[in-house]
Each structure stands twice: as structure tokens, then as C-alpha cells.
Structure 1
Amino acid sequence: MIRIHFTADDFARVRFAPRPSPVPELHAALMMLGAPHEELLFGRWRNRLLRSLPSAVGPLADLAPDGLAPAFLDVLGDTLDEGVALIRAARPESVRAGIEQVYARRPAPPWIRALHDGTADAWRTLGRAQRAAHETVIAPVWPLVQDLHRTEFTRHALAVAEHGLGATLTGLAPGSRLRDGVWEWPRPGAGGVREIHLRGRGMILRPTFHWRRDPLVQHLPDRPTVLTYPAGRGLPLVPERGGQAGEPLAGVLGRTRLALLRSLDEARTTTGLARRIGVSNATASAHASALRAAGLLTTTRTGRSVHHARTPLADLLLTGGTADG
């Protein structure tokens, strides 16, 4: 069981994450990828991703040999670039403590020891691994993650307005209850009780759509506690409109560019595209330029803003249609 102790100030500082963050969603997906349970629902999803993961992703498995990543990896950030930058900015003592906890009873691989020492090459290895994993696992489904998160956020906003914060909290998990300022969250099959005292720092509630097990709690002394809870349909996420027609395109265009095209169900600005697929504005602009050169999108300027839209050729490719030559 998890028991979270609130003060009056904490209740005033509870908030729901307004948008999803690519890095924690990626880590939830990778943990689910390595979990042995629920093979009936997740078996094909795992097999497909494991076959498609590039070798550059391997170091991430070293960081979580028991399926639970060090706390310094759990950051927010609206885009992948922001999340990676926040991880890189972690205090050296936090990085060392996280690695020492994971490798307390086993020898660490050489690159992990180098990361413990803070070498630039080790940080580059981690960055490459995260970007490669994001390209394969998260980018193809990021528009769907954003849509699900928007629905979840709206649902909780209405629940707070209609029923109050207490009922909304307990509604997040069947069997949880709030009494005397303590939120008790049961963990079936898990032994022991974890006591968490917020002490006025508040809490951020963050849904994840790639995790099915107990809530993931980040409780650091200088930050609000972040509770990541399983949400959504409870099924593996698959790319929107992708299916079998979209997968071959990923090998030609790259998964980020394919996700960008899929996100253009309506015209969007560069900033809107960046948020939609979880990358920086500069990255979205570069991919849009490449797709425009290939005749797959058009860009029009209105005042200081530019809007991107798919071309008929892009629609044809995404829907798997054919044309006679």
C-alpha cells in the first residue's frame, strides 16, 4: 500500500499535468516492454517493438536492469529535447545516488561507471539511446497519447468541479480512499507500506498510457511529488491511421517524419507540430522542410505565422491507397 500524507497546503497545490511529457511516457513504455505479465494483451506489441528497436537503445536496459529506472531520469518537459536537457541538468550527486542504488549488488557496465563519473561520452550515449527509443516507441503514437491525455485532463477537471478534489483522487484507483488527510492507494500483491509525506510541496498527477501496474511515485525533497498513474484504455497503443500501410513508410521517411505527417489531420503551425509530436520547434521545422521538398506537405505564411498542411500525395501514402501509373 502507498499512503500519501497531505497537509492543508498540499491540497491547495495538487494539480494535474496539463499535457503529456515524452520522456516519462517513454520510460513507462520501456518498463512495460520489459514486464513479463499480461502476455495476452501485450505480447504482440512487445514482440513488434523488440524486433524494431535499434541497437542504440541498449544502454537504457543497463540503467534499469530490474525494470525500475533511477529517479534522475523521471523528468517533465513538453518535448523530447526539453526532457533530455532536464536529465542532463540533474545534479551529479543525484545521478550517482540513482546509479549506486540500481547497482548496489552487481557490477556496473563500463558506460554506466562512466556516467557515474559524469563523462561527456557517457551522457552522449544516454542521449542517443533515448532519442532512438523515442523514435521507435513513442513518436508513432504521440498524437494518440496527446488526444488521450487531453481527454483525461478534461475528465478530471469536470470531476473536481462537480465532486471535489477528494472524490477525484479516490476515483483514480479502485479501492483507494482518503481519510484524515491520508490517501491510501492499495497495491495488490506488493508487500509492505510506503509512507509519503508531502509537507506542503504539493503533488502533480500525471497519467500514463503505457503502464498498467502500480502507480509510479517520484518523491524528491526539493520538488513536488509526482504520481504517475495508469490511465486510458489499458491496451497497447498503436499508431493512428498507421496500420500496415504506415509501417513501410517509417523505413523510408523515419518515424518522426511519419508522425509529423499523421499529425497534420488539420493545418498546424510549426509550434503546434512540435507539441503534437514531442520535439523542439527547430526539429519540427527541419522535418517539415524535408517533407515539403518531397512534395508531402505545403507551407503557407499568414503574417508572422506559418501553417503546414498535407498534400494529396501524403494523404494517398498514409491511407495505403494506390494510383495507376
Structure 2
Amino acid sequence: MVLDVEDLADTRFALSPLHETVVSLRVLRDPGLSALHLPWRRRVLDRLGALDTSLLMSLVAPRRTLPDFLTPRPAAFAPAFEDELAVVRRTLPQTVRRDLLATYAPDALPEPLRDATAADTRALALRDTVCDLLAQYWEIAIAPMWAQMRLLLEADMTYRARQLALGGARLLFADMHPNLRWQDGVLHIDQMISRYHVAVSGRGLLLLPSVFAHKPAPPVSPEEPPVLSYPTRGVATLWAAAPTPDATALVALLGAPRAKLLSLLDEPLPTVEIARRFRVTPSAVSQHLRVLHATGLLTRTRDGRQVLYGRSPLGDQLVGHSAARPLTAKGGPVTG
């Protein structure tokens, strides 16, 4: 890729949930591609159930290329999956045909994709079926982890932006991947399947950090807008099991009285009932309830004349009640 000064000025980052969904098919099809993703792959295979994956798997060619029309250049910084998929659903039949043939070239298309070379109506039907399957696959394989994935991708962007500020384009690309080299205004990408020379020519370069990308990759076709997907930093931490909650650590963080209150509230309770269970007066627990609510660890709901307190999702995470033995009132009275 040849980038001039204007192109560098217009180099920017984006997130693409659709891109991650499509690229993850490589890992699903080829477990040897990245050992880091094996925990994710095992969980997803257990959940796919009756979903017909034969067509989805056929989208990944033997040389691991994917059709460009399934990963359109994001129009916004972080588009919704549904918005990106809507763009794919508008793909013209000739583009579907061109991209699938380019993905498998010089080989012939496999049986599940043969309709792409038939009449336009059949090519469009194939496109729509692929989109329907991708929507189902997204809900099963990517959506449950998208919040964590997005945090990781945004952390990489923050790091890259700092590299750019400190050392310009040379430092931006220096440690992105061994296959990338920046020299004399040209971004060289080694070990590409397709070989071509692209002048960005004022269109700007869009950088897509990716959880599932195993190496930097531009679009298969040089006619597509300039986009570079690259492996994000920190992927090894993404699928690691969460540490087992430690009840003693909760006490050290909140203090024994508040830790006991938080652990008690598996279900919403009024102040008087909490006080009864701890055998203290309501005023003895009220101040602790106010603090826990103010810090987002408790929810508060009015039910007639009484106020019910329950754990918030953040409080549930902190207590880890499903993995650790909950604290109870047997440890002593709640006091200040």
C-alpha cells in the first residue's frame, strides 16, 4: 500500500463486529490456526447444536481467504452488527459472484456455493441464506463475548494511537506484526496470498484490530477500499478463566459488616427484614445499605411503604456467589 501525507492524516481505526464474526469462522474450521482460541472454539461447538454450519464453513477457502462482500468497510467507528449485516444484504449478485470466485481462485467453488455462478436470483438467495446463518452464528458465538472483546480492541487502539503520537507511522506499524514493514511511504505486507500494489490515493487507510485475525490482511481484491485488519494485542487474556472469588478478600475490601450484607442479598429484602436476620435494629444496617447502594453494589426498589434492597449485577460479580461460599449472619452482628 502506498500512503501519501494526506492518507496518513486520514488513517483511522474502527471496530467491526461483523468482521470478527466472519473471521472467527477460520478458527472454527481450522483449530490449528491459533491455540489461544481453543477454549472459545470448544464452547462455541458445544452451543451450535442444530445450526447448519456446512455453508458457513464453505465460506473459508483452503487458503483461508474470505469473500470481501461479507466484511464491508465500516461506515462508522463502531457500527452495530445488524447495521453491517444490512449492508451485506444489499450486495449485488455480480459482486457476490466475483468475490466468491476470487476467494477460491484458481479452484472451483464447492457445492454449497455453486449457486453464486447460476442465475442472479439464485445468487441473491445464496447471499440471503448466508446472512441469515451469520445472524444466528453471531448470537451464539460472538455476541455473548462482544463486550469483553470490544474492551480489548479499544485498548489496542489506545496503544496504537500513542505509538503514532510518539513516533509517527513508522512506530505505529513497527510492532503491529512481523509481516508489516513501513518504508519510504509504502506499507509492505509480507506473506500475502494475493500480490498487488495499491495506492490509497486520498481514500485514507482504515485499521481494524481483530481478535481472530492471525496475521495482517487487506481485502482480497485491490478494488476494495483500503482496509488493514491486524491481530490485536492481549488475546491470550481474553479466554482465560475468571479467578475464583475469595470471601476473605471481600471482607478486606468492604469490611465485615458490609460484606455480610452484600452476601445476604441473594433476593431483595426490606431494611426491617435484613435487621431481623442479623438481630440488630434497622438503623444499624441503614447506613451500610446507603453506602452499598451509592457505590452501585445494591439496587433499591420501592414496594408500597417499604424499600427493597438487592444485589446489582456488579454486586453479584463482586460476591461471586455461584463460585464461592457466601458469608452469612452467623459471623456476628452487623455493626458500624
TM exceeds 0.5?
yes
Gap change, CA 1:137 and 1:240, over 3 Å in 2: farther
Q: Are 1:33 and 2:28 an aligned pair?
A: yes
Deviations 1:190-228 (A, max 9, x none): 67854332222221011001222x212127677530100
Gap change, CA 1:176 and 1:218, over 3 Å in 2: closer
Question: 1:65-214 counterparts in 2 under 5 A?
Answer: 65-66=61-62, 67-75=64-72, 76=74, 78-102=79-103, 105-106=107-108, 108-109=110-111, 112-113=114-115, 117-119=120-122, 121-174=125-178, 176-187=180-191, 193-212=195-214, 214=215
Distance 1:204 1:97 in 2: 23
Gap change, CA 1:215 and 1:111, over 3 Å in 2: closer
Secondary structure of the corresponding residue to residue 177 of structure 1: strand
2:7 paired residue among 6, 10, 32:
10
State the shift of 1:163 in Å: 1.8
State the shift of 1:7 in Å: 2.5
Gap change, CA 1:65 and 1:184, over 3 Å in 2: closer
Amino acid in the other structure paired with 2:48: L
State the shift of 1:173 in Å: 2.2
Deviations 1:98-123 (A, max 9, x none): 12334553354366506963456434
Distance 1:107 1:237 in 2: 35
Distance 2:117 2:84 in 1: 18
Distance 2:132 2:68 in 1: 19
* Root-mean-square deviation over aligned CA pairs: 3.7
Question: 1:161-310 counterparts in 2 under 5 A?
Answer: 161-174=165-178, 176-187=180-191, 193-212=195-214, 214-218=215-219, 224-235=225-236, 237-238=238-239
Amino acid in the other structure paired with 1:33: L
Gap change, CA 1:91 and 1:8, over 3 Å in 2: farther
Is the CA contact 1:219–1:225 (under 8 Å) kept in the aligned structure 2? no
Gap change, CA 1:12 and 1:175, over 3 Å in 2: same
Greater strand share, structure number: 1
- Higher relative contact order structure (alpha carbons within 8 Å, sequence separation ≥ 6): 1
Amino acid in the other structure paired with 2:213: W
Gaps (5+ residues) in structure 2?
A: 245-297, 302-309, 329-336
The match for 1:285 is none
Gap change, CA 1:132 and 1:319, over 3 Å in 2: farther
Distance 1:111 1:222 in 2: 22
State the shift of 1:64 in Å: 2.2
Gap change, CA 1:237 and 1:201, over 3 Å in 2: same
Amino acid in the other structure paired with 1:9: E
Distance 1:115 1:318 in 2: 54
State the shift of 1:148 in Å: 0.9
Distance 2:190 2:235 in 1: 18
Gap change, CA 1:298 and 1:22, over 3 Å in 2: farther
1:64 paired residue among 55, 60, 67:
60
Distance 1:140 1:242 in 2: 19
Q: Are 1:53 and 2:53 an aligned pair?
A: no
Secondary structure of the corresponding residue to residue 106 of structure 1: coil
Gap change, CA 1:191 and 1:59, over 3 Å in 2: closer
Is the CA contact 1:45–1:236 (under 8 Å) kept in the aligned structure 2? no
- Identity, in percent, stands at 27
State which drifts further: 58-67 or 42-51.
42-51
Gap change, CA 1:319 and 1:145, over 3 Å in 2: farther
Kindly name which structure, 1 or 2, has the bigger radius of gyration based on alpha carbons: 2
Amino acid in the other structure paired with 1:225: P
Is the CA contact 1:141–1:238 (under 8 Å) kept in the aligned structure 2? no
TM-score (norm 1): 0.65
Amino acid in the other structure paired with 1:126: V
The match for 1:290 is none
Q: What is the aligned length?
A: 255
Is the CA contact 1:57–1:132 (under 8 Å) kept in the aligned structure 2? no
Gap change, CA 1:185 and 1:115, over 3 Å in 2: closer
Is the CA contact 1:28–1:211 (under 8 Å) kept in the aligned structure 2? yes
